[in-house]
Amino acid sequence: MSKRFENILWGIDGEIRETLNKLPTVTKQNTQEIRLRRGLPLALTVYGETVFVKKDGQTSLYPQNDLQFVSKENVENSFRKLCKNSAFAHEEELKNGYLKLDNGYRAGIFGTVNSKGNMEEVTCINIRIAREIKGVANKIAHSFRGEGWLIAGPPASGKTTFLRDFIRQISNGTGGKNYRVAVIDSRGEIGGSGENDLGLSTDVLNIKDKALGVEIALRTMFPEVIAFDEIGNLEELNQVKQSLNAGVSVITTAHIGSVSELLQRDVTRELLKSGAISRVALLSKALGGEIRVLTDREISDDCI
């Protein structure tokens, strides 16, 4: 697992990379994010918690005098590396606050945005480490019978990692049947440019427009299940309804911190009302924690 951590270090400024290389293997294996904030300490997200990195490669939960601080030059050099010296080539991504990197990695980019929506100055970079953990979806994959699922949880709870393993297992017949799965990978994070194992019966479409991707999958691939990350708008929801009409199940994810939020957000509320989703796996804050499985009826009862 530390190999995935080390695979992204090419995109980080040399001074910061040198410090990150000193981290213990166990820390590298469990790091979810690397966060560079201009003028502030180098930080990691580990098991869902923020830790600060010392100059000697050790970590601390609290500010200390010997922390590795990130300079303006560190941020700028890292940004140039991640862009491969061509920010213009990533202009549309940057307008949405991120950079799509190789092998399913993604970097969130914060800073100053001008009136045209272009990033003028970068002050913060948050690199998310793409992870593949086989077995995390065991609880629901073994009992899967073709129903629609929503994988919900707060940020950094491992929704994409969980989704990836769920797809792999149902595609390989864990529950007794090999399901044909069409994955709509809008940011390249699920399949990771072929690096991640999504099973023997899975087809991947890399396309930015998820709604269009669902339409294409329904028309051309004859899937039994369509899976994609982060349902975000009503257009995507309308395509989900089309898949339901075509007899195709949907598995997707949503940033949700509690059961009540499922019905407070327009898209997830309408998704549940559509009938496309009959089960929800509510993940805990940290991947590997408790998974609460709810039916659509239980969610309604819980929120009354």
Q: How far apart are the C-alpha atoms of 198 and 169, rounded to whole Å? A: 8
- Burial label for 135, CB within 10 Å (0-12, 13-18, 19+), is exposed
In eight-state DSSP terms, residue 80 is: H
Q: Is 182 left (phi over 0), alpha (psi -120 to 50) or beta?
A: beta
User: Residue 127 is which amino acid?
Assistant: I
In eight-state DSSP terms, residue 194 is: T
- Burial label for 57, CB within 10 Å (0-12, 13-18, 19+), is middle
pLDDT by residue (tens digit) across 142-194? 999 999 999 999 887 889 999 999 999 999 999 899 999 999 998 888 987 67
Q: What pLDDT sits at residue 263? A: 84
Q: How far apart are the C-alpha atoms of 163 and 287, rounded to whole Å? A: 12
The distance in angstroms from the start CA to the end CA of the chain is 43
- Pair 57, 23: CB distance under 8 Å: yes
Per DSSP (E only), the strands in the chain are 31-37, 43-46, 49-53, 59-60, 98-100, 106-113, 119-128, 149-153, 181-185, 202-206, 225-228, 249-255, 279-283, 291-295
Q: Return all residues near 137 (Cβ < 8 A) that are at least 6 apart.
A: 162, 163, 165, 166, 169
**Domains delineated in the chain:** 2-128 (3.30.450), 138-302 (3.40.50.300)
What pTM does this model have? Answer: 0.81
Q: How far apart are the C-alpha atoms of 71 and 168, rounded to whole Å? A: 41
Q: What pLDDT sits at residue 302? A: 55
Q: What pLDDT sits at residue 304? A: 41
Q: How far apart are the C-alpha atoms of 151 and 272, rounded to whole Å? A: 12
Query: Per-residue confidence of the chain (304 residues) as pLDDT tens digits?
Result: 578 899 899 999 999 999 999 999 999 999 989 999 999 999 999 988 899 999 999 999 998 889 999 999 999 999 999 999 888 888 888 988 889 887 778 899 999 988 888 888 999 999 998 778 889 999 899 999 999 999 999 887 889 999 999 999 999 999 899 999 999 998 888 987 677 899 999 999 999 888 899 999 999 999 999 999 988 777 888 888 888 778 899 999 998 888 888 888 888 888 888 888 899 999 987 666 688 898 877 776 555 4
